[in-house]
Amino acid sequence: MPVLFRIKLIPLVLLLAVVFAFLLNWPVLLHFYDILTHLEHVKMGFAISIPFVLVAALNFVFMPFSIRFLLKPFFALLFVTGSMVSYSTLKYKVMFDQSMIQNIVETNPQEAHSYLNGSIILWLLLTGILPAILLFLIKIEYPAKWYKGITYRLLSMAASLLLIAGVAALYYQDYASVGRNNSTLNKEIIPANYVYSTVRYLQDTYFTTKEPFQTLGDDAKRVANKDKPTLMFLVIGETARSQNFSMNGYDRDTNAFTSQSGDVISFKDVHSCGTATAVSVPCMFSNMNRTEYNAKKATNSENFLDIVQKTGVSLLWKDNDGGCKGVCKRLPTIEIKPTDNPKLCNGETCFDEVMLENIDEEMAKMAGDKLVAFHIIGSHGPTYFQRYPAKQRHFMPECARSDIENCTQEQLVNTYDNTIRYTDYVVAQMIEKLKLYSNKYNTVLLYVSDHGESLGESGLYLHGTPYKLAPDQQTHIPMQVWMSPGFIADKHINMTCLKNNAAKNPYSHDNLFSSVLGIWDITTRDYHADSDLFRGCRS
């Protein structure tokens, strides 16, 4: 292999720290100085010291990994992965905490491909792959004696600590003040943020004692209607936010179809359990509230679908969004493959109308009372334009690209609103299907999204921001319910009461567990009446 140039070990590690500080950590430096511009008084020395502290900290952290045979592959990997993290942070303000690592690990290839575009490929080549290649072309001169190598490393680390200590002595209060008021800064430093989060994820997932499996509703009993069985469609949306629903006050007619279906009730104040599918879906089906939710416990526990199934209801899960995140693993499941339906799929993704394909035949195989859960792809970004067919391009011009930050705000919102309107069309089609079955079944549809989405507000795009920092756009979600006259009569539901509650009362994913059990008239010690959003409107 040709040698580009020679460099001693200690200067090389310092050079790596400088490159990481000014190249890959450009987003955190921008954020830091943006914070300073909004402060009333800023010391010049404090502002100047920031990049020096960052370089010193990185030099200190990097030095233990400067071992022969480890250094080049280790830092080459950091360059490539750090480049992708840097791009996501700079363009979308994505924060790489443990939940985000979980989202990445659980993302399927089709979903991952939707994030690729010319901008990210060019960024990866220039800031990740090229530096990694250059690193392999450098001849590193290591100290001749092993003890000299250890000494030089310790001296370099000591110098870094001395610089940090000196800055702290002068500007500790300034750093402490900025840190207290901007708690995300320490989660933005590359590569510490994603390396730490990945280690935590791996530790919690593979190297900790598994929770004992917990069954729920072993005492469950259900009062079934003797005249007609019940048929329920449970629709789990993807990435829909409440503020873009015309039924919730949005000035565009994004609910053009369900508003014509009759008696569709929209709940205006509903909030999600998480800001990403990997958290929200298992959380909303679990018996835990958002504040007490534990992913390991949820993975090793039954959910409300298991309880409903225990009472004799036939269940089916249909998935068009890359997996059920574990909630359907004890249920009959149909996972839509993008290659199965050329009419509604393009080989990588499918329009949600595919959910109703073969539904009559599939339900015919189910006996008695039935619950069909649909996990739709909805408004999953960033390729919003791929979520609806050409005939549903209602709001124009659209953003027909994945690097959505390069579209105008008008194009981006138009495209997202088209996804909401198309989802509304699909839900309306499901309601029409249920109406066809209303002579044989008491029918009901419940739709709820898993989380919301940011569309450039405050510089944020997509979703996955830590919940305590997430904007309302990522947590305020839509929920709708439709009931047939037979279902309303059988459950003794006061629709006026339910409409009033939907307009005024706050709800969340925490209500879903007991509400579904309650609407099925299931009694169990795991049911909590105060969380059942239907209970107060049943006579």
- What dihedral angle (degrees, nearest 10) is formed by the CA atoms of 20, 25, 30, 36? -80
Residue 208 has a pLDDT of 79
HSE value, Cβ hemisphere, 13 Å, CA-based, for 42:
16
Q: What pLDDT, on a 0 to 100 scale, did the predictor assign at position 443?
A: 98
- For the chain, what are the domain ranges? 5-206, 232-537
CB-CB contact of 241 with 474 (8 Å): yes
Token pair in block for residue 373: 């859960």
pLDDT for the residue 501: 97
**Per-residue model confidence (pLDDT) at position 1:** 60
pLDDT value for 177: 84
Name the architecture of domain 232-537. Answer: 3-Layer(aba) Sandwich (3.40)
Q: Which of 31, 382, 13 is nearest to 185 (CA)?
A: 31
**% of the chain surpassing 70 pLDDT:** 100
Q: What is the pLDDT of residue 112?
A: 74
User: Which residues of the chain fall short of a pLDDT of 70?
Assistant: 1
Q: What angle do CA 257, 261, 265 make, to 5 degrees?
A: 95
Least Cα distance to 426 among 271, 254, 252 occurs for 254
Q: What burial class does residue 368 get, using C-beta atoms within 10 Å of its C-beta: 0-12 exposed, 13-18 middle, 19+ buried? A: exposed
Please count the other Cβ atoms lying within 10 Å of the Cβ belonging to residue 72.
Answer: 15
How far apart are alpha carbons 56 and 229 in whole angstroms? Answer: 69
